[in-house]
Amino acid sequence: MSNITPESLVSYWDYEDGNDIITADSFDSDSAYEDGGYLIKPLPDRPVEDLTLLSHERENVCKYENGRRYHRYHEGQYAFPNDNQELERMELHHHISTLAFGGKLHFSPITTGEGDHSPILDLGFGSGIWAASMAETYPHSQVIGVDLSWTEPLWCPPNCRFEVDDCEHDWLYKKDYFELVHIRYLSGSIRDWDRLFQQAYRHTRPGGWIELQESDIELYCDDNTLPPDSILLEWFVLMNKAATASERPFIKTQLFKSWLERACYVDVKDKLFKVPINQWPKDKKMKEIGRYETLNVAEGLEGWSMALFTRVLGWEKDDVLVYLEKIKKEFRNRKVHAYWSL
């Protein structure tokens, strides 16, 4: 095999921090569903409907279905929308992730910027906010974002560029090229992770890094306030069933370590972060993350569910919408002390 040994990092698993039990707030006087309003500043509007393209070209790169916009390049491969609502939600999710990560954009100890200007690759750049933030942080490095959809990022430093491509196809980059290959929230979108990791390995320079920031598509709860017959758990079962049937299952994050090792990466580490589903925790920072997460779910639920439920499970749009209202309400229930793991 190759004589290069890029070290790798799924992200560190910090057993002490990540496994701390989150204490619930007692919310002595108010209703369990009352969320106290969102403390969210409105996100800036995108100046145009995403695409600096003539309208007939837009028709060719997008597809509208059940009121949402989807990618057309390699149509059907990614089951979630690429419209403004979803892009703004991704930016909110970026904020939640960086809050959870203590302000960090990455954990890999990259050396780029210290005389080494090997580029950084972001697979599935989404709104482009991570790639643009990295380019701003490392002004001497080139940051390249790749996505099935072309979206007009809100801002783009000169050392950042975006490309439309399918990261599951053969990569045309040079061998031993990147300092860091970054993957965030691609679970449920990739058919062949082994092949993706092999390609990433091949195009990473010796001593370079791969970093995954992924979430389990299931809920965790340490105090039995999430009953086994919760409608929330039913929604997760349906989502996993549909994603598996469409051959892009959501992956249990603990599996990635052995998959990366299979692709010859060494020094693979995990770190666990908890994201409460709403503002149920007592701790101020956790409560803030939970408050943002309430909005993330409210904005994201329809987009995450609609195509999988209608295309794969055969539901009607209106039935999905009615069902999701119940799910949304339960996500806001502060008596349920549940969290996602990142």
Ligand X SMILES: C[S@@+](CC[C@H](N)C(=O)[O-])C[C@H]1O[C@@H](n2cnc3c(N)ncnc32)[C@H](O)[C@@H]1O
* Cα 6 from Cα 73, distance rounded (Å): 32
Least separation, in Å, of the C-beta of 27 and ligand X?
A: 31
Q: Is 149 in the site for ligand X (CB under 6 A)?
A: yes
Instruction: From 10-18, 142-150, 172-180, 262-270, give the range in contact with ligand X by CB under 6 A.
Output: 142-150
Contact range with ligand X by CB under 6 A, out of 146-154, 271-279, 282-290, 307-315: 146-154
Residue 168 binding ligand X, by CB under 6 A = yes
Q: By the 8 A CB rule, do 13 and 212 touch?
A: no
Query: How far is residue 131's CA from residue 34's CA, in Å, rounded to a whole number?
Result: 36
Give the one residue of 189, 279, 294, 333 binding ligand X; rule: CB under 6 A.
Answer: 189
Eight-class DSSP state of 222 = S
Count, residues near ligand X per rule CB under 6 A: 22
Position 134 contacts ligand X (CB under 6 A): no
Distance CA 60, CA 125 (A): 21
User: Smallest Cα–Cα separation from 235: which of 336, 123, 148?
Assistant: 336
Burial (CB count within 10 angstroms: exposed 0-12, middle 13-18, buried 19+), residue 120: buried
Residue 78 or 309 having the CB closest to ligand X: 78
Residue among 184, 203, 334, 337 that touches ligand X (CB under 6 A): 184
Question: Considering only residues 138, 162, 178, 185, which one is a binding residue for ligand X as defined by CB under 6 A?
Answer: 185
For residue 201, give every residue at least 6 positions away whose Cβ sits within 8 Å of its Cβ, in sequence order, or none. Answer: 2, 4, 6, 210, 263, 264, 265
CB of 127 to ligand X, least distance (A): 6
Which residue's entry shows tokens 């090792």?
A: 261
Counting every residue written for the chain, the total comes to 342
Query: Does 148 contact ligand X by CB under 6 A?
Result: yes
Give the bridge partners for 161, in sequence order. 144
**Residue listed under structure tokens 């806001």:** 332
Query: With binding defined as CB under 6 A, does residue 217 bind ligand X?
Result: no
Kindly state the smallest distance separating residue 120's Cβ from ligand X, in Å. 13
CB of 122 to ligand X, least distance (A): 7
Answer whether 105's CB lies under 8 Å from 133's CB.
yes
Q: How far is the CB of 169 from ligand X (least distance, A)?
A: 8
- Dihedral angle sign, alpha carbons of residues 311, 315, 319, 322: negative
Q: What's the closest the beta carbon of residue 330 comes to ligand X, in angstroms?
A: 22
The answer to the question of residue 192 lying near ligand X (CB under 6 A) is: no
Question: Pattern of binders to ligand X over 34-73, x per CB under 6 A?
Answer: -------------------------------------x--
Measured at the CA of 43, the angle between CA 39 and CA 47, to 5 degrees, comes to: 165
Binding site for ligand X (CB under 6 A): 71, 77-78, 82, 90, 94, 124-127, 130, 146-149, 166-168, 184-186, 189
